[in-house]
Amino acid sequence: MQATVLQAVITGILVGGIYAAMAVGLSIIFGVMKIINIAHAAIALLCAYIAYTAFTVLGLDPVASLVLSIPASLLIGGAMFRVLVRPVLGGPPLISLLVLFGFANFLEGVMLIGWAADPRSLTPAYSASSLQVGPVIFSVTRLLGFAASCLVVGGLAVFLRRSFTGRAIRATMQDQQAALLMGVNTDRVSMVAFLLGVGTAAVGGTLLGLIYAFYPALHLLWIGKLFCIVVLGGIGSVGGVLAGATVLGVAESLTATFFPAVWAELVAYVLLVLTLWFRPAGLFGRAA
Amino acid sequence: MKMKGCLLALFAFAFGAGALAGPAGAQSLGKTEIVFGGAVSLTGPAAFDGVYYKKGYELWVEQANKRGGILGAQVKLILYDDKSSPSEAVSRYEKLITVDKVDFLLGPWTSGITAPVAAVAQKYAKLFVEGGGCAEPIFQRGNKWIFNTMTAVDHQHSRNLFEWIQSLPADRRPKTATLTYHNSLWAQGCAKGVRAQAQEAGVQLLLDEAYSPTMSDATPLVSKIKAASPDMILNCGYLSDGVLIVRTLKELKVNAKVVWMSDGPPNPAWGATLGELANYTLGTTHWEPGVPYTGAKELTALYKEKFNEEIYDKVAVAWASLQVYEQAIKGVKSLDQEKIRDYIRTNTFDLVVGPTRFADNGMPTISTLLDVQWVDGKRVVVWPKKDRVLNKSIEGKEIVFPKPAR
């Protein structure tokens, strides 16, 4: 029993780390621009498909394929920002939501045409192997995904804290007007934040593809989880996203282990409702 | 002038009837072309098997036209992709009936998709001979238009397995099992059968759990199997979910004496996808190349020649559904849906899946099931045994039991 709980908690933490890599960008983009990038998970999923093609055609390891998918996601992100996002910045939130929802559907169509609706999975040689430590089994892919995610999220946190651009991003998140008055080029900051967000989504998507089978419509399921994490953790805080992602990962894993596995898909929504009910600013957020 | 015309007509008739059965037959059908239409899963989670229905249908149509068609009428096929979605399938069949105006409907794949499509066929009073859905509820809805060429109903799927267990000396029999199943129509029926047969055989079910058809991670499910530590791991499901479960069994180092994965292992893709992990997994199929039925050997050779790959049951049941149509059309010499339906209900058909009659609910009265096991990268028939099966044409090999651990 104890071993089962321990196993479930560890599995949840490992998956939570990867969730965090995907969600952190969503949180930053919302923090800086006050738009909800509903196409976030679709971009992440597209990068899983890029990794799939790199793996099956070129024999490239999925983690190594980030060399291709990160630039690809930055290109898409840059075009998205110029063509779709900037024109609607500062407008009513519904407009940007609709525009990005349309773009998410467009990306789903691209994935359907490019890779068909069949479920795909990334299966490098180590995909079914695992390490056993005492009673707990660590899946190699999960460990790898978790480690890579920690690097990305940690690197991002350091960047936001130490670099000038990072501080400018945080300043813009706190108060755009004040940042502008202090000489921060908020337009440029928005662009950088958007690219950072999209780039980290690429990492998260590829790593999640390493663990889960994926198909084009899956981004809708993913984006639901990401919303839950961002709301749970409080918007605009890297630590909050980490906490939210870990809570979701562990809650899902425990639910699937001790209740019928089909219930796990509901966990994100239950957590979302509970957070909005009891602590609308999130675990780490300040009340507005 | 008139006389000459009559003579010509007489001559033409004599020539037609005497020398060429084709044109005369075409006249009797009143059409030069018979159109069959259907939708199968060419993409999506069900595509692993769906594509084989397409191959079966296309090969049959090609061969039928080579023979000169049905009573001289050429055969045409309209096939859509239902993307593994029941709603997509329903709209495709509505289109086949109302826009394409096909003469006869072919079946889709999976019971979950066949059930709503059968309701469409019933609504338009269209004959629906299908080989893709054998879940019992489909045949309990008073649908007079459906006939099925899959050789056993859902809850029979595990019967060979339990027959084998009962054949073992009492001290060697597996005593416990876990049951997991894809939460969909056919797999629910299959699970129902496993429950009943396990109880009868005195096998205790330590776990009985459904999983979502969109399950993308089997770790929690397999953790429960591991915690139960069963003698047998029994799963009612399809190929892609089965592959995910077997991979996760390896990842979590779960071993059992028997791993039975119902509908996954019969597909050649099972071995191709899982590689070494496929070894010693068991599954159950409706048809194998060696069965002693009319045309089975020819179909196996033909399929190999055309597609250069191994045949398996989905191709044969698809093929058989078209055989039913052909034999019935020839029997009544008409394309009238109702006449053909009544003919199918009252006659015996010589099909590649065996000599077949249909019960009132549309299920075939024969019931062939064969259990297969992957051994050294090959799928071999392990049950029933040679001494009683199918005119001794297939030799059931010994089941590798207990399954070697990995």
Question: B-chain residues within 8 Å CB-CB of A218?
Answer: 216
What does the alpha-carbon distance between residue B174 and residue B203 come to, in Å, rounded to a whole number?
A: 7
Residue A60 included in any domain: yes
Is residue B132 within 8 A of residue B89, CB to CB? The reply is no
Q: Which residues pair with B35 in a beta bridge?
A: B76
Q: For an interface test with B, which of A7, A118, A129 has the most B Cβ atoms less than 10 Å from its Cβ?
A: A118
Q: Is residue A156 part of a domain?
A: yes
Q: Which CATH number characterizes residue A225's domain?
A: 1.10.3470
Mean pLDDT of chain A: 89
For residue A284, being part of any structural domain is answered with no
Closest residue in B to A8 (Cα) is: B220
The whole-number pLDDT of residue B21 equals: 45
CA distance A286 to A282: 8
Taking only residues 137 to 176 of chain A, the set having a beta carbon closer than 8 angstroms to any beta carbon of chain B reads 137, 139
For tokens 């096929």, name the residue: B77
Find residues 236-295 of chain B whose CB sits inside 8 Å of chain A: 240, 244, 247-248, 250-253, 277
In-domain check, residue A285: no
Nearest to A128 among B224, B227, B250 (CB): B250
User: Is any Cβ of chain A less than 8 angstroms from the Cβ of B230?
Assistant: no
What is the model's pLDDT at position B22? 44
pLDDT digits (tens), chain B, 406 positions: 455 555 455 444 444 444 444 444 445 688 899 999 999 998 888 888 999 999 999 999 999 999 999 999 999 999 999 988 999 999 999 999 999 999 999 999 999 999 999 999 999 999 999 999 999 999 999 999 999 999 888 999 999 999 999 999 999 999 999 999 999 999 999 999 999 999 999 999 999 999 988 777 888 899 899 989 999 999 999 998 999 899 899 988 899 999 999 999 999 989 888 888 999 999 999 999 888 889 999 999 999 999 998 899 999 999 999 999 999 999 999 999 999 999 999 999 999 998 999 999 999 987 789 999 999 999 999 888 754 555 455 666 788 888 888 7
Q: Residue A166 falls within a domain, yes or no?
A: yes
Distances in whole angstroms, Cα of residue A163 to Cα of each of A30, A178, B175, B298 = 20, 19, 64, 73
Residues of A in contact with B251 (CB under 8 A): 128-130, 137, 139
Q: pLDDT by residue (tens digit) across A230-261?
A: 988 887 788 889 999 999 999 998 998 888 87
Residue of A nearest to B207 (CA): A260
Other residues' Cβ atoms within 10 Å of the Cβ of residue A134: 7
Mutation pick from B223, B226, B246, B406 vs chain A, by most beta carbons of A within 10 Å, is B223
- Closest partner residue to A264 (CB to CB) among B183, B220, B251 is B220
- For B216, the closest of A8, A129, A212 (CB atoms) is A212
pTM of the model: 0.81
Candidates B215, B226, B235, B273: best to mutate against A (most CBs of A within 10 A) is: B215
Helix axes A2-33, A186-211, angle to 10 degrees: 160
Closest chain B residue by Cα to residue A119: B45
- Separation in Å, CA of B207 to nearest CA in chain A: 10
What is the tally of structural domains in chain A? 1
Which of A129, A211, A261 faces B211 most closely, judged by CB atoms?
A261
Radius of gyration of chain B (CA): 23
Q: Do B223 and A215 touch (CB under 8 A)?
A: no
Q: What is the pLDDT along chain A (288 residues), one digit of tens a residue?
A: 788 889 889 989 999 999 999 999 999 999 888 899 999 999 999 999 999 999 989 999 998 999 999 999 999 999 999 999 999 988 888 999 999 999 999 999 899 888 877 778 888 888 778 888 888 888 898 899 999 999 999 999 999 999 999 999 988 888 888 888 888 888 889 999 999 999 999 999 999 888 888 888 889 889 989 989 998 888 778 888 999 999 999 999 899 888 887 788 888 889 989 988 888 887 776 554
Structural domains in chain B, CATH included, are 24-152+292-356 (3.40.50.2300), 156-285+376-392 (3.40.50.2300)
Q: Is residue A286 one of the residues assigned to a domain?
A: no
Asked if A214 and B84 come within 8 Å (Cβ–Cβ), the reply is no
Within a domain: residue A287?
A: no
Measured at the CA of B104, the angle between CA A116 and CA B137, to 5 degrees, comes to 75
The predicted structure's pLDDT at residue A178 = 87
Largest CA distance in chain B: 93
| Three-class HEC string of chain A | CHHHHHHHHHHHHHHHHHHHHHHHHHHHHHHHHCCCCCCHHHHHHHHHHHHHHHHHHHCCCCCCCHHHHHHHHHHHHHHHHHHHHHHHCCCCHHHHHHHHHHHHHHHHHHHHHHHCCCCECCCCCCCCCEEEECCEEEEHHHHHHHHHHHHHHHHHHHHHHHCHHHHHHHHHHHCHHHHHHCCCCHHHHHHHHHHHHHHHHHHHHHHHHHHCCECCCHHHHHHHHHHHHHHHHCCCCHHHHHHHHHHHHHHHHHHHHHCCHHHHHHHHHHHHHHHHHHCCCCCCCCCC
ipTM confidence:
0.71
Q: HSE (CB half, 13 Å, CA atoms) of A30?
A: 22
3-state DSSP assignment of residue B115: helix
Rounded to an integer, what distance in angstroms lies between the CA atom of residue B393 and that of residue B354?
A: 13
Residue A283 lies in a domain: no
Say how many Å lie between the first and final Cα of chain A, rounded. Answer: 43
**Range(s) of the domain holding residue A96:** 2-278
d(CA B7, CA A164): 102
Q: Which residue of A has its CA nearest to B82?
A: A117
Query: Are B154 and B135 contacting, i.e. CB atoms less than 8 angstroms apart?
Result: yes
